[in-house]
Structure 1
C-alpha cells in the first residue's frame, strides 16, 4: 500500500495518500519542545488532515478504508494542497535534524520524501494525466470480493457511488487541460483500454459490476436495511454511475485518444527531461542519473545472461538461446489449461513457501491473504500479477501467455514473502506513527519483492531448471527495465526497439512484453525501482555477511528490514549499516 499522493484515485482500494499540511498550532512554544516532539506534532497533524482531505477513514475495526466520497481533484484544490505541503516542508526544515532520536530521524526521512514527491508531482500537474496503461482513476472503484462486510462498509460505498459523477467530471476537466498543453499519456499505450469502462456503462444493475457486492450482502445486516441499500444502489447505478461512465467513455474515445500525443518518451512532455529526473528520484529514492542507471542495466543484463546460459545447459537443451526461448513460449507442458489450474498452481507455490518461510524470516504476520484472478475488465492489458494487503492477483487472461515456469517467482514476489506479507507486517506495527504503516516507496517495496524471488532459492521453491530459468527471466526482466526505461525516456528509443530488447533477453510472452513496454512508456521511472531496490538489499546482506561472519543470521537480517517499514533506499542503507555495527559490538 502507498500512503502518498498518487496520480489517480483508482488506487484508493490499494493506495492511500499522505497529504501534508501547514505547521500545526502547537500547544506549547517551540522553544519548550524537543525536536522529537516538534516532529511528532507535525506529522500527526498532517496525518489527520490527510485522512479527511483524501476521503479516507477508519472502519469499525480501526482499519483504514475509503470514505463516503471521493477526494476533490480540481486545480484549486491542488493549489491549496501545494501551499500546505510547502509550508509543512518549511516547518520540517526548521526542526534540528541532529537533535532527533534514531526512530524519529527515520520518520523524518520518510515524511520529507513524501512531501518532496507530492510537491514535485503537483508542480508538474500530474493530476492532468490521471491514467497509465494499466491503471486509471475509473478502475478499481468497485470493491474486490469480500471487502464489504458490515452496514457501514455498504453505506460508505453508496456515498462514493453518489459522488462518482462529480469526481469523473473533475478528472475529465483535468484531462482536457492536459490535452491543451500536450501533457498526456502516449496514444499507443491506450489502445483497447476503453474496454475497461464498458461493463460499467450498463444501466441494468444486475449486469453492472458495481452491484455485485449488493447481490450477496451479509445476513448480519437486517433485511429491511439490506433491501433499502439494494434499492438505492440500483437507482444510483442506473441514474448516476452508468451515465457517468458512458460520458467518460465518449470523451475518452472521441476527444482524448484523438488528441493524445503520438510520441512515447517523457522527454517529449513539457519540461520533459526535468520531469523524468523527478520521476527517477520518486521511484528509486536514490540520487542516480538516467545515464548511470542505463549503464548499470547493461552490466546486469550481461551478468544474468551468463547465468541463464548455464541453466539452459542444465536442461540438456541443444540449440541457441533464441531457440530455447521459443521452446519455452510454445511447448504445452509449460501452460495451464484452465484459469483454475493457474490459480491452483500459484496457491500451491504459496503453501510450499509456508514450509520454509520461517527458516528465512523470524517474525511473521497474523493476517492471511487470498489469491484472486485479475478482474476481467482490465485483465487483457494488466500486468501478470500484483500483490496487496488482503489479496494478490494473478492474471488468468490468455493462458498461452502465462507460463507456469514463471509462477513460482511471481507468487513469492506478489504474495509471500513479498508484497502481501510485507504489507501485513507494516500494518501490524505496534510502535511508531500510523502514517508509517501505510507508506509505500517503490524502491523499498519492489526491491523487497524482487529480492524474495532470489530468496526462493534458499527456500527450495524452484524444483526444476525451467522454474529456475523462470526466476532468472524475471530478474532479467527487471534488469532490462533499467535499460529500456532510460532508453525510452532519455535516449529516444522507439516502442518497437524496447519490445525487441525485452523479447530478445527474456522468456516473457509476446502479450506480456507489449503490455509491459506500454506500462513503462506511460509510467516513466516506475520500472526502475525493482532492480535498484533489490541490488540495495543484496548489497546490504553482503556487507552484513562479511562483517558478522558465522554470527550472521538471515532471519534477524530480514526481520530488521521488514520491521523498518517502507523507507527511502538511502535511509535503508544508513539504517542497516548502523544495525551491522550494533551487531558487531553486541549492543
Structure 2
C-alpha cells in the first residue's frame, strides 16, 4: 500500500474518454429527481448522488479492509481482504459495473457545480477500474517497490495506521495477520499463472525482492518486526492480558508467519527467479505496448500518446541542462557541466557525516518554510508532519524520500521519510526542494487538506490521482522560487536537479517500456544528464521497471498546473489572486487533469464576472 492507497494501475482510452468532456445526458436514462423504492420519498439529483457515492464508499471499505484502516475506519481491522481471490475480483468488477450504471441514471446538469466535478471524477474512476481489469496485473502481485509484505511490516510495527491500544486491537491484528499468511500462498498461485501466461517480473527485480524477504526470516519470534507491538504493550493491560497476547503473538509468528515467509522466499529463489524475464520493459510482456499506453494514460490522467510524452521529456531535459549550466557559471566553476556534476556529487562539504544530522537539517528547514506559507495560502492543513528515517529493513531499496499521510482522526501526524542509508545520495543542496515536494506545501499540504475537507463525498477525501498529487508536489518546488527559498544558487541547482529527475523520467520510463531500452541504457542516460548518485539512479530505474507509467505523472501534472496558472494570470490580469488559485486547486480533493482544467476555467469565468 502506498502513501494514499492510490491504485497503481488505472485508466485507459475508454476511461479517459469520460474525462475529455462533460458526460452527455440521456433523457431516456437520466432524471433530475427519483423516488426511492425503499422509502417512497422523492430525492433531488443532489440527494441521490450523495447517497449513491456514500454507499459506494461504504461498499469499498468492506471490500478493501486495509484501505478502511488507513482512512480511519476501524470496523474491519481484523480482516485482511480477499485481494487475489476469484471472489474478490468478481466483487470488484460487480461493484464498479453496478455503480457506473447507477450514477449514469442521475442527471449531471441538475447537480450543483461542485458536485458536477465530483460526478465527473466518480464516473471516470469507475470506467478506469473496469478498463484496468482487462490487463492481468494480478499475475504480478508484488515487486520490490510496492509490496504487500512491506506494507504489512509497516502496519505491524505499531507506528502506522493499525491501532494497538486495546486487547481487541491486538487480537484484530493477529486475525489480519492470519489473512496475510493465506495471501502469501495465493500470491504463489497467481505467480504460477503468470509464469504460464509469460506475465512475470524482470529478473533484476526478483533479485531485489529476495533480500527483502530474507530480512524477515529471523531465528526467534522476538526478533521479528511483527513482534514490535509486544515490546510496546499498553500499561493498562492486566498481567493476564499481557501474557495472553504475548503467547499468541509468539505462537503465530513462530508456527505460521515465519514458515510462510520462508516458503515465499524459497518460491522466489527456486521457482520464480529461473523463469523471470530478460526484458526490462513492459514491451516484453504479451500485449505489453498496449498495456503500457494504458498505464501511461491512467497515471497521467491524459490521452497523450507515449511518443509525445517521450518528446516532451527530451525538450525539458535540454531546457533544464541549459539552466544548470547558468548556475555553474554563476558560482564560478571552471570545468564543464559534467565536471560540475561530479564535484557536487563527491566533495565532502556537500554531505552530512551523520544520519541524524540529515534529519535535523530537515527539521530546521521545516521551520523556515512554514514561516513563508501564509503569504501564499489561505487554506492550510491542521495536521502537522514529522521527519523520520526510512526503516532499516527497506532502506537499501527504498526511494530517497517519501510521504505518509496523517491519521484521519488527528492521532498521528504525517511522516516525511528520508532514506539515510547512503548519505552521499542525500546532498545538502537538494534539501530545500525535497522538503517542498514531500512535506509543505507539497504532499503533506495537499493530502492532509484533502483528508480534512468537509462537505465533499468521502471518495474525494481519500481517493487520488498520481498526476494531480505528484504534479502539485512538483509545482510546490516551483513555488519555492517565488518564496525566496532558492536565492542560494546551490539550493536552486538542487531544485533544477530534482526537476531534471522528473524530466528524465518522461524519457526513461517511455524508453524502457515502449522503445526497447535496457536497464543499463536507462541508467546511463540518467548518469549523463544529472548529478544523481548512482545508487539513486539504479533505484529509480528499477522503480520505473516495477511500476510503469507512474513516474510520468510528476512532470505532466506540473506542466498542466503551470499552464492553468498562466492562463488564469493572462485572463484576469490585476484580478488574479494567487491564494485564490491555490484554493481552487486544493479544495476539491485530487482531480483528473481534465476535471481540474474545467474547474479552473469556471473559476476564471466567475472572477471575470
Structure 1 residues 518-529: aligned runs within 5 Å:
518-529=542-553
- Alpha carbons of 1:88 and 1:334: their partners in 2 closer, same or farther (altered >3 Å)? same
| Distance across 1 between alignment mates of 2:116 and 2:202 | 40
User: Structure 1 residue 491: deviation in Å?
Assistant: 1.4
3-state SS of the aligned residue for 2:279?
A: coil
- Using a 3 Å threshold, how does the CA distance of structure 1 residues 46 and 60 change in structure 2: closer, same or farther? closer
2:392 match? 376
Q: Map 1:17-416 onto structure 2 (within 5 A).
A: 26-27=36-37, 32-56=42-66, 67-72=77-82, 73-142=84-153, 143=155, 146-147=159-160, 148-151=163-166, 152-389=168-405, 390-416=414-440
CA distance in 2, matches of 1:126, 1:65: 28
RMSD: 2.4
Of residues 425-434 and 87-96 in structure 1, the stretch that sits farther from structure 2 once superposed is 87-96
- For structure 1, the 5+ residue unaligned runs are 9-23
Give CA-to-partner distance per residue, 1:85-114, whole Å, 9 cap, x none. 223223333333333321222112222232
Name 2:408's counterpart in structure 1: none
What SS is found at the alignment partner of 1:370?
Answer: strand
Q: Distance in 1 between matches of 2:5 and 2:399?
A: 22
Q: CA deviation at 1:164?
A: 2.1
1:390-422: CA deviations, max 9, x gaps? Answer: 212110112122222112211111111111222
In 2, Cα distance between the equivalents of 1:125 and 1:61? Answer: 27
Closer/same/farther in 2, CA of residues 149 and 551 from structure 1, 3 Å limit: farther
Q: CA deviation at 1:246?
A: 0.7
Shift of 1:65: 8.5
Q: 2:453 aligns with which of 411, 426, 429?
A: 429
Shift of 1:30: 11
Q: Does the 8 Å CA contact 1:124/1:275 hold for their aligned counterparts?
A: yes
Give yes or no for the alignment of 1:543 onto 2:553: no
Q: Do 1:388 and 1:423's aligned partners in 2 also have CA atoms closer than 8 Å?
A: no
1:16 maps to: none
User: Aligned pair 1:569/2:579, yes or no?
Assistant: no
Q: Structure 1 pair 75/128, CA: closer, same or farther in 2 (3 Å)?
A: farther
Matched residue, 1:531: 555
- Evaluate the alpha carbon distance shift between residue 310 and residue 414 of structure 1 in structure 2; reply closer, same or farther with a 3 A threshold: same
Change (3 A) 1:3 1:208: closer
> For residues 528 and 227 of structure 2, what CA distance do their matches in structure 1 show?
44
- The question of whether the paired residues in 2 share the 8 Å contact of 1:57 and 1:66 is answered with no
Q: 1:194 to 1:58 in 2, by over 3 A?
A: closer
Partner secondary structure for residue 463 of structure 2:
coil
Check 1:245–1:150 CA distance in 2 against 1; reply closer, same or farther (3 A cut): same
Alpha-carbon distance in structure 2 between the residues aligned to 1:402 and 1:190 = 26
Residues 161 and 62 from structure 1, CA distance in 2 versus in 1: closer, same or farther, beyond 3 angstroms? closer
- TM-score (norm. length: structure 1): 0.92
Q: CA deviation at 1:276?
A: 1.0
Alignment partners' CA distance in 2, 1:377 and 1:237 = 18
| Pick aligned residue for 2:509 from 485, 488, 505 | 485
In the TM superposition, what is the alpha-carbon distance from 1:121 to its structure 2 partner? Answer: 2.6
Match of 2:523 among 474, 495, 499: 499
- 1:215 Cα deviation from its structure 2 partner: 0.2
Asked whether the 8 Å contact 2:71–2:462 carries over to 1, the reply is no
Aligned partners of 2:70 and 2:489: how far apart in 1? 49
- Residue 446 of structure 1 aligns with which residue? 470
Residue 171 of structure 1, CA deviation: 1.5
**Count of residue correspondences:** 570
Q: Conserved in 2, the CA contact under 8 Å of 1:276 and 1:524?
A: yes
CA distance in 1, matches of 2:507, 2:367: 35
Contact 1:203–1:239 (Cα < 8 Å) also in 2: no
Tell me the secondary structure at the aligned position of residue 387 of structure 2: strand
- Residue equivalent to 1:12: none
Cα distance change, pair 527–131 in 1 and its aligned pair in 2 (3 A): same
- The alpha carbon displacement at 1:192 in A equals 3.0
Q: What is the Cα deviation at residue 250 of structure 1? A: 0.6
Q: Distance between the aligned counterparts of 2:331 and 2:286, measured in 1?
A: 50
| 1:221 Cα offset (Å) | 4.1
Whether the 8 Å contact between 2:144 and 2:208 is mirrored in structure 1 is no
For 1:254 and 1:217, locate their aligned partners in 2 and report how far apart those are by CA, in whole Å: 39
Seen in structure 2, the aligned counterparts of structure 1 residues 25 and 419 have a Cα distance that, compared at 3 Å, is farther
In 1, Cα distance between equivalents of 2:606 and 2:134: 42
Give me the whole-angstrom Cα distance separating, in 2, the residues matched to 1:188 and 1:59.
Answer: 33
Structure 1, 319-328 or 80-89: larger mean CA deviation: 80-89
Within 2, Cα distance between the matches of 1:404 and 1:60? 33
